[in-house]
Structure 1
Amino acid sequence: MFWRLTSLSTSSPVESILDKENFSLEELLDEEEIIQECKALNSRLVNFLRDRAQVEELLRYIVEEPPKDAESKRAFKFPFIACEIFTCEIDVILKTLVEESELMDMLFSFLEPDRPHSALLAGYFSKVIICLMIRKTVPLMHYVQAHQNVLRQLVDLIGITSIMEVLVRLVGADDHVYPNFMDVMQWLSESDMLEMIVDKLSPSNLPEVHANAAETLCAIARNAPSALATKLSSPSFVARIFDHALEDSHSKSGLVHSLSVCISLLDPKRLLAYSPLFHSFRNQHMYECPVPVDPVTVGAMLPKLGDLLKLLNVSSDDKVLPTTYGELRPPLGKHRLKIVEFISVLLKTGNVTAEKELINSGTIKRVIDLFFEYPCNNFLHHHVENIIMSCLESKKDDIVDHLLRECNLMGKILQTEKNPIILADSNQPTSPAVGKRAPRVCNLGHTTRISNKILQMGNSQSCIRTYLLENTEWNEWQATTLHERNLVENVYRWSCGRPTALQDRTRDSDEDDLHDRDYDVSALANNLNQAFRYKSYGNIDTVEDPRSLGQDDEDVYFDDESAEVVISSLRLGDDQGRLVSYGSRPICRHIYICLNT
């Protein structure tokens, strides 16, 4: 074998260091190939690193901040290499760590509150802990259960994203890492960890703490059913979350992230909605919440709807946001957008009590008003459209009647269609720029889909059909404007190479369409004639300008017969394997020569 030949093989630099009588751990850490040798399970190297003294020294690089005057190797390279050695998942090294309580104490000493917690070392600490969760789950969980203060220290540092990742793994985001997953979840639910995380949503904490606490709670909700998820969805915890959300009206961060947790409780698998597969089926409404929502959880949220509705009132907000199209007085804000999203998900649950409360409180009417008051906020339009779709698809006639009559949805759509521009109205939060032409509203695409949905549901629901028959203005508009718009926006009718139906698409690429394309030769000839008459291609290399040869405009004439020759030659060239590109220079030169022969 080639690599066994003594004269041709080269020894590893790591082996050279190990051959010395006296060498230090720093010499090994400074060698570039140490990680490669660890992954190759170099027996001499592994036997050296598994020693307790070496494991302790590796831990010091991870949990202790380097001195201020330390060299860059001590501050950056050695901690990185030490972390990588642990995450190589060498069993004997990890076994030395978890079987020595003093070493485990040293590892978790990083969480002590009186120590600095740099983001760099926090990342290394997180990687080592997650590695132990995967490879040494039982001894690690035994240590955590024996040291209850570890949970509190982790939650206190939840504002550090790397520590938050440890908590997310701990609460079971990857349940396959636990061989005794149910026992661990039961123990965590009996501890006070969940209360501590929920209290991190308090307005007194920083926004990054709110964000990471909400992410951890959402991970618990997505892991339903589990003991922790059941505890989180209980009425007492739902009320606790809303108390933090509404504790301080000036803390928008706490409100936004608290509502994110409530949305996850209503729709635990909501992150699936952001996958490409979901968007491909959005119009077919094939996405449904796979986990039924406990009516008790929904009932605990309904008493807070009145307080959320007050926050949707923009009249008392004096903020001004200049935009490219005008001004927003005030801007909608992320917190109001999150409230609308929460209402959308709440309606999606189909809870009858929630629908009645949303009707009686006027919440649905208010969000529809926001849809037209902020005609350029497409995030808002998306959520309001989902609210309207949920109302139209509801089996209850009262919510449909509320939508069409009391909210006057169709009347507002018709009013927007008559004047599809942003009007200068002091009573509206959106105003156009002074001295410029008023821009068009940006929600016409959403209103078109809503209108089509109303017509579709009118065929199956008698209450909608009755209201449509009463509204003559709507019938005239949908028979003319809406019908023509649907024809124009039907992409399968476009004659630009797109197939007339989705099932007709059998070719592997668009290049195959070139052979079967039906060219309008007369139009092509006229376009080419005009293009070369005005010297559109007069800068082609190695081809002289026809005017320099004494030719006048009438000499550059491209008839139908010449066009046929050009198109045939292009097809022939493509059949012979040449690169055919309408913007390529060889084809332009070819056409130009044909025009002048």
Structure 2
Amino acid sequence: CSQHSAPQMPARPRTGPPAAASSMFWKFDLHTTSHMEQLLEREDVTLHELMEEEDVLQECKAQNRRLLLFLSQDHCMQELVSLITEEPPADLEEKLRFKFPNIACELLTSDVGMINDKLGGDEALLEKLYHFLEKEPPLNPLLASFFSKTIGNLIARKTEQVISFLRKKHSFISLVLTHIDASAMMDLLLRLISCVEPAPLRQEVLNWLNDERLIQRLTELIHTGRDEERQSNASQTLCDIIRLSRDQANQLAEAAEPDPLLAVLESQENVSALLKSMFEADRTDVSVVNGTQVLLTLLESRRTGLEGLMDLCSQGSECAYSVSSSVLRALEPHLKDFQQLLLDPPKKSAILTTVGVLEQPLGNARLQVARLVAALLQTNDGAICQELCQLSIMDKLLDLFFKYTWNNFLHFQVELCVASILNHSAHGTLPPASQQNHEDPPPKAGPQDPPHSPLFQQCRLMQRILDAWEENDKIQVEGGARRGYMGHLTRIANTVVQNLEKVPVQSQIRDLIKELPEDCRGRWETFVGETLRETNRKNTVDLVSTHNLHSSSEDDDMESPFPNDLSIQQAFSDYQIQQMTANFVDQFGFNDEEFSEHDENINATFDRIAEINFNVEADDSSASAAAFEACCKERIQQFDDCEDEEDIWEDKEINYAKQEEAEPEVAAAAAATTVAQGVESVESQSRCFPSNSSSSLRQPVCTASILTVCVGPGWTADFGEVDVSGSSSSWGSSEPSTADTNDTGWANFTEFQPFCRYG
């Protein structure tokens, strides 16, 4: 290239762009046309060709006008609707059969105004959509989901047009319920209830659905003779309607019209019809479970679970629940049917579990009964509690509790039942214990009398707790596994003990305990005073531990050479926590917001750490600080600066054979370095090393880390005098033996004392 000179360019004026450069720019045209635009420019382009493009959906959502004009044509809209409502050819490859129906559904539900207007305003297209419901069951689940999503989008975007169209179809609800085995139909019904705005139009829709007897027809589907999928979806739909209606009722003004669907659901007539369907003829596990799910939803409170129950009961039984009385009145005569389920459940085959073969499983039906009883007891309704007592349902549940050792779902529900009885008893009146005996059935309780006494007499709660606990201890002593209900049993026992301290029931329970046999009373007192207390202690987690932290398990057996003076530990602990915490928070100033987004503030945390200024200030007015200083002055002698100073950084020959005593300046330098680095807090105890024979490497006998920290802009430490000579230190520790180290030439690390640090 160097042999050929570049051609001379002709002179050109300095103003204006170069002609050659301008031509080269237009030669390499940077303006690109997408393949989608090229297709749309063709007059013979087809819908399938456009749907083959990967960016067709993005272009549609970006409202590419040429694409939207093409898609909104009549023949294109008809083809899109056909794709989501008609079965694709069976000869296509499986992964390609529903490719175009899926894309068609995404285009129709892309929430673009032009497509919504076309689809919602064209009755012919709506008729084509509606025709999908007229097909014979079962529907293709995927096509049903495409149909439901498309109609649901129109209900939300073109509400008036679509609702008006559907109300003209008298068979609409019947067809939807015919296909209720497809979950997409359940979603369609819920959209009609929850996605209609404004409020007056929504009320019209609710009245229309109520006139069509939607709730009654769904309830009839929960019947012994129905298939499982249909029953399950009908039950789930009713549960969702209850929750949606209650949520919307809470959000609307008090003057709003009541929800007719919720009113029917909570009516005594409808609940009775549901219970009749559940227990009519040969009851099945499916009908019982699905029906009980609806009942549990009707009995739902705003706060559930054991902790929520405790909070509610502490405020009084009247605040716990606000359940419709019609639901409870309908349930009351059918409680005997649930009792019979506990005694004679639907037959279940044996199952293999991780703990062996279970010949007679508990079954979902009995578990749902336990959940229902727990929910009913939480209502604290007098008539319900009376009926439960007469049927001895709690006794049956406790039998199942101890029989099914590993079913924690059941254990939790029984625990809830016991907690409900005891906690509601603390806010009500109880019948005298003298009116009870072991043979006679429990007396009828009043409207506010929970089944308290039968829990201790008929159900023998205390004896069961003691027997189960002793049996578990025996099994564990023999090498067996701890029973699966022991955690729940511990909490039940604690609930009983806690209620002994509540005034309204204290005397009642104590009278019941006095009626127990003498040996049982003694076992209970010993259990509460020793066994339960020790169990609670083991189950308690210490958030802050004052124990020494060791670097290895070998230090566990070592004893500290310092006196175990609790006053020093307590004074230092209070002083350290108060001063160090206050200075750390004040100077460092972290808050929750700085940790909310780590990606944005990745360096902020480290920048703040660089600015930390550890400054421990002693407050003379603080009792903890004064006690700390007094203990230090009493126990520790001041350091004396050694006249013969030595450079600790000077290179020395290291010999591991022997060691000798350290001079004070080494201890002072080591302590100063520790403080300057900010690694360890001020400590009330020292680090100790063994004193051995002479060596070029000097080791301190006792390095005291008690420092006098002065208030100022930085760290300043005043090291006093301490006597490090001789065979013993001022702490009274004797010189350790050096026999092993003299024989082997190595340090004896087993005689090192542990580093005493506070976490």
Interval of TM-score (by shorter of Structure 1 and Structure 2): 0.7 to 0.9
What is the deviation of 1:71? 5.7
Cα displacement string for residues 471-510 of structure 1 (whole angstroms, at most 9, x for unaligned residues): 443222111111111111111367399999xx9999989x
- How far apart are the structure 2 equivalents of 1:517 and 1:107? 78
Cα contact 1:159–1:212 (8 A) shared by 2: yes
Q: Mapping of 1:99-178 within 5 angstroms?
A: 99-114=121-136, 117-172=139-194
Give the superposition deviation at 1:516.
5.9
Q: Amino acid of the residue matched to residue 446 of structure 1?
A: H
The question of 1:455 aligning with 2:494 is answered no
Which residue of 2 is the match for residue 346 of structure 1?
A: 376
Query: What is the Cα deviation at residue 203 of structure 1?
Result: 2.0
For 1:416, the aligned partner's letter is A
Q: CA deviation at 1:11?
A: 2.2
Tell whether the 8 Å contact from 1:201 to 1:244 is kept in structure 2 after alignment. yes
Equivalence map 1:214-253=2 (5 Å):
214-222=235-243, 223-224=245-246, 225=249, 226-249=259-282, 251-253=284-286
Post-superposition offset of 1:317: 5.7
> Structure 1 pair 282/316, CA: closer, same or farther in 2 (3 Å)?
closer
344-353 vs 466-475, greater mean Cα deviation: 466-475
> How far is 1:170 from its partner?
2.3
The offset of 1:321, in angstroms, is: 3.5
The residue number in structure 2 matching 1:95 is: 117
CA contact (8 A) 1:312 1:336 kept: yes
Select which of 350, 353, 358 maps to 2:388. 358
Is the alpha carbon distance of 1:322 and 1:216 closer, same or farther for their aligned partners in structure 2, counting shifts above 3 Å? same
Aligned residues of 2:272 and 2:330 also touching (Cα < 8 A): yes
Which deviates more from structure 2 when the two are superposed, residues 482-491 or residues 377-386? 482-491
* Cα pair distance change 1:27/1:319, threshold 3 Å: closer
Of 742, 749, 759, the match for 1:558? 749
**Distance in 2 (alpha carbons) for counterparts of 1:517 and 1:166:** 68
Following TM superposition, by how much is the alpha carbon of 1:447 offset from its aligned partner in structure 2, in angstroms? 1.4
Q: Secondary structure at the match of 1:180?
A: helix
2:397 to 367, 378, 398: 367
- 8 Å Cα contact 2:310/2:423 also seen in 1: no
- Asked whether 1:419 is paired with 2:443, we answer no
Aligned mate of 2:48, from 16, 26, 35: 26
Which residue in the other structure is 1:545 paired with? none
Find the aligned partners of 2:224 and 2:688 in 1 and give their Cα distance.
68
Greater shift after overlay, 259-268 or 312-321? 312-321
**What's the CA shift for 1:419?**
1.0
Structure 1 distance, partners of 2:96, 2:345, is 58
**Structure 2 residue identity aligned to 1:98:** G
**Contact 1:137-1:178 at 8 Å conserved across structures:** no
Q: 1:437 to 1:452 in 2, by over 3 A?
A: closer
Q: Is the 8 A contact 1:400 1:464 kept in 2?
A: no
Amino acid in structure 2 at the alignment position of 1:455: V
Deviations 1:415-440 (A, max 9, x none): 111111798xxxxxxxx9xxx96533
What residue is the counterpart of 1:586 in the other structure?
A: none
- Cα distance in 1 for partners of 2:56, 2:343 equals 62
1:295 to 325, 343, 362: 325
Give the letter for the 1:297 counterpart: V
Deviation at 1:148, TM superposition (A): 2.2
Q: Which amino acid aligns with 1:349?
A: T
Q: Give how far 1:519 is off.
A: 13
Q: Distance in 2 between matches of 1:133 and 1:237?
A: 29
Cα distance, 1:87 vs. partner? 1.3
Question: Match of 2:229, SS?
Answer: helix
Q: Is the 8 A contact 2:341 2:366 kept in 1?
A: yes
Distance 2:542 2:754 in 1: 29
CA contact (8 A) 2:306 2:416 kept: no
CA distance in 1 between counterparts of 2:275 and 2:689 reads 66
Match of 1:447, as an amino acid?
L
Q: 2: CA distance between counterparts of 1:521 and 1:282?
A: 51
Instruction: Select which of 523, 536, 541 maps to 1:473.
Output: 523
Question: TM-score with structure 1 length normalisation?
Answer: 0.77
User: Quick one: structure 1 residues 44 and 179, their matched pair in 2 at CA, closer, same or farther if it must change by over 3 Å?
Assistant: farther
Structure-2 residue corresponding to 1:593: none
Provide closer, same or farther for how the CA distance between residues 515 and 447 of structure 1 changes in structure 2, counting only shifts above 3 A: farther
Q: 2:458 aligns with which of 402, 406, 409?
A: 406
CA contact (8 A) 1:295 1:351 kept: no
Instruction: Supply the distance in 1 between the matched residues of 2:356 and 2:685 (Cα, whole angstroms).
Output: 45
Name the CA distance, whole Å, in 1 between partners of 2:308 and 2:345: 38
**Of 182-191 and 297-306, the range deviating more from structure 2:** 182-191
Matching residue within 207, 215, 221 for 1:194: 215
- What amino acid maps onto 2:180 in structure 1? I
Change over 3 Å in CA distance of 1:553–1:358 after alignment to 2? farther
Shift of residue 255, structure 1, vs aligned partner: 0.9
Q: Which letter maps to 2:35?
A: P
Q: Counterpart of 1:488?
A: 538
Superposed CA deviations along residues 518-569 of structure 1, whole A, max 9, x for unmatched, are: 99999999xxxxxxxxxxxxxxxxxxxxxxxxxx99947436769769x99x
The answer to whether the 8 A contact 1:152-1:196 is kept is no
Closer/same/farther in 2, CA of residues 291 and 74 from structure 1, 3 Å limit: farther
Whole-angstrom distance in 1 between the partners of 2:306 and 2:100: 46
**What are the superposed Cα offsets for residues 282-326 of structure 1, whole Å, 9 maximum, x if unpaired?**
765599998721111111011111111111015996843343334
Structure possessing the higher radius of gyration over alpha carbons? 2
The residue identity in structure 1 corresponding to 2:224 is: P
The CA distance in 2 between the partners of 1:92 and 1:167, in whole Å, is: 26
Read off the aligned partner of 1:181 and give its amino acid letter: R
Deviations 1:356-408 (A, max 9, x none): 11111211221122112222110001111111111111224251112122211
Taking only the aligned residue pairs, the percentage that are identical comes to: 28
5+ residue gaps, structure 2: 1-25, 250-258, 431-448, 515-520, 550-572, 596-605, 610-677, 691-742
Are 2:276 and 1:254 equivalent residues in the alignment? no
Q: Secondary structure at the match of 2:749?
A: coil
Bigger fraction of residues in helix? 1
Tell me, yes or no, if the aligned pair for 1:214 and 1:258 is still in contact at 8 Å.
yes
- Give the conservation status (yes or no) of the 8 Å contact 2:120–2:162: yes
Structure 2 CA distance for partners of 1:422 and 1:383, relative to 1, 3 Å: farther
Give the counterpart letter for 2:373 in structure 1: I
Contact 2:193 2:202 in 1 (8 A): no
Q: Indicate the larger mover: 392-401 or 70-79.
A: 70-79
Between 1:512-521 and 1:197-206, the stretch displaced more is 512-521
Number of aligned residue pairs: give it: 518
**Partners of 1:71 and 1:260 in 2: how far apart?**
42
Q: Does 1:442 align with 2:484?
A: yes
Determine if contact 1:521/1:560 at 8 Å carries over to the other structure.
no
Displacement of 1:73: 8.0
Contact 1:245/1:254, CA 8 A, preserved across alignment = yes
- Tell me how large the CA RMSD over aligned residues is: 4.0
- The residue type equivalent to 1:145 in the other structure is R
Partner of 2:722: none
Query: SS of the counterpart of 1:312?
Result: helix
Alignment-derived partner of residue 37 in structure 2: 15
One-letter amino acid matched to 2:385:
E
Q: 1:402 to 1:286 in 2, by over 3 A?
A: closer
The CA deviation string for residues 183-230 of structure 1, in whole angstroms up to 9 with x for no partner, is 211221121222221122112222222221111000111123521011
Query: Which deviates the most, 65-74 or 402-411?
Result: 65-74
Assess if the C-alpha contact under 8 Å between 1:421 and 1:438 holds in 2: no
C-alpha displacement at 1:235, in angstroms? 1.5
CA distance in 2, matches of 1:362, 1:180: 50
- Asked whether 1:335 is paired with 2:377, we answer no
